[in-house]
Structure 1
Amino acid sequence: MTDKTPLAIADNAAQHRYEAMLDGQLAGYAEYNLLTDAIMFTHTEVLSAFEGKGVGSGLARHVLDDARARGLHVIPVCQFIAGYIRKHREYADLVRADIQRAFKI
C-alpha cells in the first residue's frame, strides 16, 4: 500500500465481511457475524498477491474503528484480529473482560 493507492474498505453486509480493495482488486477481507450488541470476527484473509503491503493491519484497524463507532463489542474469534488487539491495546476496551480472558487479550 502506498500513498498513491490507498486501501479502500467497505462492509459487504450481504456476504458478512468487510472487503479491502487495492488498485481496484480485492486484496483481503474480514468475515464476521453480527450479533445484537457485538460483532464476532471469524476469519481474516489477505490474498497472496497483496501480502506485506499493510492490507491486514489496515483492515483490522478499520473494522475495529467501525465497531467502536457503531457501539459494538468485539468477539475476536479470528486469531489475526485477536493478535492485532493484543499489539494495539487501544482496542482492548472493545472486548468484554470475560471475552478477553477467553482469547488471551
Structure 2
Amino acid sequence: MATEVRNNTALERFELTADGQPAGYIEYQDTGDERALVHTEIYSAFEGRGLANTLIKAALDASRDEGFSVLPMCPVVLHFISTHPDYIAYVPQRARELFGLPQ
C-alpha cells in the first residue's frame, strides 16, 4: 500500500492518503515554537493496518523539521512517543513530566 502524508496548513492537520484515498489525519495547533498534536483519526476502512503509526511518525518528523517541539495532547500520539523512546526528545523537557514521559 502506497502512503503519503501532507501538511494541510489551512486546516492545521497532517493528512494521510493510502493508495490515493483519504485514510486519516492528525489535527494540530501551533503556538510559538510548539505544536500541540490534539487529535488523530484513521478512517474505519483503513483501521488495523498500522497506518496510525505511519501518520504519527510523519507528523512528528515534519514538526521537528519545521522547528517545532511537540505536545502530545492526543492519547494515541502520546502512546506512540511512550513506546518509541527516540521521539521523547521531541517533547520539551518542561512538559515531559506533565505527559508522564521520562526526563
Residue type at the aligned position of 2:55: L
For structure 2, the residue ranges without an aligned partner over 5 or more in a row are none
* Count of residues in correspondence between the two structures: 101
Residue type at the aligned position of 2:4: A
Indicate whether 1:92 and 2:92 are aligned: no
Corresponding residue for 2:49?
53
Q: How far apart are 1:70 and its partner, in Å?
A: 1.4
RMSD: 0.9
SS at match of 1:75: strand
Residue type at the aligned position of 1:41: L
Query: Deviations for 1:28-55, whole angstroms, at most 9, x for unmatched residues?
Result: 1000001110110000011111001121
Corresponding residue for 2:98?
102
Give the ranges of 4+ consecutive aligned residues of structure 1 lying more than 6 Å apart after TM superposition: none
Percent pairwise identity: 35
Q: How far apart are 1:98 and its partner, in Å?
A: 2.3
Instruction: Write out aligned runs for 1:1-105 (5 A).
Output: 5-105=1-101
Residue type at the aligned position of 1:42: V
Query: Whole-Å Cα distance in 2 between the matches of residues 46 and 37 of structure 1?
Result: 27
Residue type at the aligned position of 2:5: I
SS at match of 2:100: coil
Q: How far apart are 1:8 and its partner, in Å?
A: 0.7
Q: What TM-score, normalized by structure 2, do the two folds share?
A: 0.93
Higher helix share: 1
Residue type at the aligned position of 1:88: H
Query: Whole-Å Cα distance in 2 between the matches of residues 101 and 6 of structure 1?
Result: 37
Query: Whole-Å Cα distance in 1 between the matches of residues 13 and 67 of structure 2?
Result: 18
